[in-house]
Amino acid sequence: MMDWTDRHDRRFLRGISKHALLYTEMVTSAALIHGDESALLAHSSEEYPLALQLGGSDPKQLALAAKMGESAGFCEINLNVGCPSDRVQSGAFGACLMARPDLVAQCVEEMRDRVSVPVTVKCRIGIDDQDSEAALLDFVGQVAERGCELFIVHARKAILAGLSPKQNREIPPLNYERVYAVKNTFPDLGIIINGGLTDLDTAMAQLKHVDGVMLGREAYQNPFILARVDELFYDCQPNELTRHDVLHAYLPYVAKELADGTPLQHITRHLLGLFKGQSGGKQFRRYLSENAYKPTSGIDVLTHALELTLK
């Protein structure tokens, strides 16, 4: 979700679900330590509960980055060893680290020694020819021994040579059974399943086998899917908010950001899927896409786009 789940998107999603745990886009430990810490960790308390997702492979560097994240207020530090992009591989982290469970375990141990919040791991079910249930169980076992108590498992393997990140989200077949095997083998671990889940009924059914569900692209491209999450997963009263209510409630945040100099398109790009499948949805997306990028665009662009959904 790099370049997707930034602070504008998270603030928007929090207006739809109050309880779903949100994750930042992946931040590398090197960038955090040597770069603009305040910008990379920027968020507001209104986004909570919020986890920081880190990328890296240097245990001590990751430990320091984890401590920075905890100090900034994040409730969980997640180590990503599932991202298959070339950019990530060239930095010797992401999915390629699944070939080094010993190193991932060391990273987790160093991070846990520095923070009191949970340290979790997001991974794939395998990579390249390391694609067996036994290899996945060995990976999880080694990392769990060093203190990781929760794993988020994308139920596809990653093919590191020959497929783009987009293809790696679509071409390798889903294998939910392998994720279930992790839970059956390690019943005391928290196992969250990810990959290919596009509706909440299917997501709820996964709870017969695992402890939770992560939605990625679907929550971004169809954000109103989160409207029933609090009711179904957190035993809350039904959410009676409409899509219009959500956007109206978000407008004061947009106005403040515009006043602070944030370009409108940096915000509206996260809103394009709000009316997915609804009458006027195409007009809403088209109007934002054609007008939000203009230097003079203001909040009136959003209000007019909203009017198009009513017509």
Do residues 287 and 304 touch, judged by C-beta distance below 8 A? yes
Q: Is the pLDDT of residue 90 over 60?
A: no
Range(s) for CATH 1.20.120.1460 in the chain? 243-310
Catalytic hit among 83, 96, 107, 148: 83
Spatial contact of 156 and 175, defined as CB atoms under 8 Å apart: yes
Q: Which two tokens stand for residue 148?
A: 């990781």
User: 243-310 maps to which CATH number?
Assistant: 1.20.120.1460
Tens digits of per-residue pLDDT, 160-186? 876 666 776 677 889 999 999 999 999
Maximum alpha-carbon separation in the chain: 59
CATH 3.20.20.70 in the chain is located at 7-234
Confidence of residue 93 (pLDDT cuts 50, 70, 90): confident
Domain 7-234 has CATH 3.40.50.1820: no
Quick: pLDDT tens for 222-248: 999 999 999 999 999 999 999 999 999
Across the range 186-206, mean pLDDT stands at 97
DSSP 8-state secondary structure symbol assigned to residue 156: S
**Sequence-distant (≥ 6) Cβ neighbours of residue 32 within 8 angstroms:** 40, 41, 54, 65, 68, 69
123 counts as catalytic: no
Q: Write down the mean pLDDT value for the chain.
A: 94
Burial degree of 261 (CB within 10 A; 0-12, 13-18, 19+): exposed
Given a contact cutoff of 8 angstroms between Cβ atoms, the answer to whether 83 and 95 are in contact is yes
- Tens of pLDDT, residues 4-38: 899 999 999 999 999 999 999 999 999 999 999 99
